[in-house]
Amino acid sequence: MQKVLLFGAVLAIIAIGGLSLGEESADTTSRRMLVTLKEGHPRLVLTDEGLARMKEAAASDAVFAGYWKTVRAEADAILTLPPLEHRLIGPRLLDVSREAVRRIYYLGLSWRMTGDEKYAAGAVDNMLTVCAFPDWNPSHFLDTAEMSHAVGIGYDWLYHYMNHETRDRIRAALLRLGLEEGIKAYDEEAWWTTSEFNWNQVCHGGLLTGALAVAETDGEIADKIVAGAVERLPLALGQYDPDGAWGEGVGYWNYATRYTCYGLSALETALGTDFGVGDREGLSKALDCPLYMAGPTGHFLTFADAGENSRARPEAAVFYLARRFGSALHADNEHALLARYPKECEPLHLVWYVKPGAGDNGELPLDKFFRGSVPVAVMRSAWGDENALFVGVKAGYNQVNHGHLDLGNFIVDALGVRWATDLGSDDYNLPDYWDSGPGGGRWQYYRLNSQSHNVPLIDGADQNAAAVSKVVSHFSDADSSGVVIDLSSAYPAATSVMRGVRMVGGRGAVLVQDEFDLAAPHEIKCGMTTRAKITLDGEQRATLTLDGHTLTATILSPEDAVLTVESAAQKPPEATNVGVSRLVVKVQAKEGRTTVALLLAPVWPDGTVETAKVEALGDWGR
């Protein structure tokens, strides 16, 4: 209901003046979205008032001063780089656009902080270079949007450094290569304009920045872009509801959230309001996503097209959201990441800076259940212990943007290493990589289909590409935590498939249990992908070793199941998956109910190996 009400409120705002989104005002005084436009420059993200506070912090706050030293050093390094080139990788100019964003932020901020013209000259040179490109690759609109963001920030921040001729050249290119392409996309109702995922925030957020940079001279086009973005951003922001997670995985949470914050911040500083777009329950809780989904190894619970090695890294948007929603806990966690990766401090860490230790964070729960469109449960034995046990499992639907055929997939960390892994994305430029419908070419690739994931297989078949799963139960107490997921729609060959994943033995081991109801005999395989060395100790037990640590895998049910080892190796052009194996429970199941239960028990430093018993999934948590 909240999403519907907010969307209606935004439409009401846009209707001021009696205009629909597709109409243009003949009278510039009726520009309905720009009536509160801040006069002059700079007005985007960092105003002169904000800059004064930053300079004061640089003189009085040792942490801030350290961050500023890092940013300035990187700006100096950027000055030595060769000019950007219009060079596509596959269908994308995106790497070039992102590098333009990076360079202009570092150089622009360093000029504003120091007044040293070498930084301003470097930023303007980069802007003139990209403004001389033949296009910003609008066929892949992320490229255009990010470049519009880069040039919009540079035009605004360096406005008073540039002469009239330079400003006019850059403004003209921003209009021709960026904003006019955006208007064309609005008029043609390009698919991304109403997307519910990261393309929405990136494209609208990037265009917003560019439009607000030139709003005093090009008000009609700016007004239309602001109105379009304010209307359509809520379509994607609803994906954070109700708990802050993101259906495309944590990697795309970072991308989508960063551009959400760019857009909201630009609206606030240029217009004094974001029109209520950012006032969402899910966005207010969004910082829980990267916090809880990072295991003790630092690696995220990865799914969809997130990379296998995706891990918690500094992200300046955390400071923006922590300031907006008053979260000292998440700000302090960001400071901890910056201490671990100091060279990854970026300019917006300074712009949106939050002092460390701003409040009592209390004690974090060990478990978190994210209830969004792709439900995710994460469980751990402790916080602040890199050797702790960590388990994550996902549900949701296979047609989610960037999704894989991986309903029920799980991840396990213990003893400082990852035992059950997800290989993540493959090369985005592979043929038919984005053909994701039922029977689509996307599912020919090992990393994307069910064969590589920690999920059941019936007769070796992939999950139904149109399948939807739901969480049946979730429970948490001092000694145990678990989740039960109905996977039935993913397996047409079965009457019912239920998966349970839980911590057992006082949170010292993991039990993965599947219940199959079959109308006829079938071969069942329940696999786990790992980089550990696997040694089979008979038919129902295996020892896994990795980085000097040991985990045992034991079949608890059924009695006739056997453990086998399979290779995950593939041939180019797919990723070859060197060093990856599959531990597989194999069962020749008969008609009726078959319960497959695998216990994953780390060998703890004191030699403890936890045990467990099999109970019906319907009794879990009672």
Give tens-digit pLDDT for 461-506: 999 999 999 999 999 998 999 999 999 999 999 999 999 999 999 9
- Model confidence at 27, pLDDT cuts 50, 70, 90, reads very low
- Sorted by where each begins, the domain ranges of the chain are 368-609
- Model confidence at 359, pLDDT cuts 50, 70, 90, reads low
- Model confidence at 118, pLDDT cuts 50, 70, 90, reads very high
**Three-class SS state of 180:** helix
Structure tokens at 530: 């790992």
pLDDT above 50 (res 322): yes
Percent of the chain surpassing pLDDT 70: 94
Please say whether the dihedral angle defined by the alpha carbons of residues 329, 330, 333 and 334, taken in this order, is positive or negative: negative
Q: What is the pLDDT of residue 19?
A: 35
> Do residues 332 and 364 lie in contact, with contact meaning Cβ atoms separated by under 8 Å?
no
Give tens-digit pLDDT for 46-91: 999 999 999 999 999 999 999 999 999 999 999 999 999 999 999 9
For residues 287 and 352, what is the distance between their CA atoms, to the nearest angstrom?
15
Number of neighbouring beta carbons within 10 Å of residue 604 = 17
Q: What is the mean pLDDT of residues 2-17?
A: 41
Q: 391 or 10, which is more confident?
A: 391
Q: What is the pLDDT of residue 8?
A: 45
Q: What is the mean pLDDT of residues 173-186?
A: 98
pLDDT above 60 (res 11): no
Average pLDDT of the chain to the nearest whole number: 94
CATH code of the domain made up of 368-609: 2.70.98.70
Structure tokens at 620: 């879990």
Per-residue DSSP letters for 293-342? TB-TTSBB---TT-BTT-B----THHHHHHHHHT-HHHHHHHHHHHHHSG
- Model confidence at 275, pLDDT cuts 50, 70, 90, reads very high
For residues 238 and 318, what is the distance between their CA atoms, to the nearest angstrom?
19
Q: Closest Cα to residue 262, out of 101, 479, 492, 22?
A: 101
Please say whether the dihedral angle defined by the alpha carbons of residues 113, 115, 121 and 122, taken in this order, is positive or negative: negative
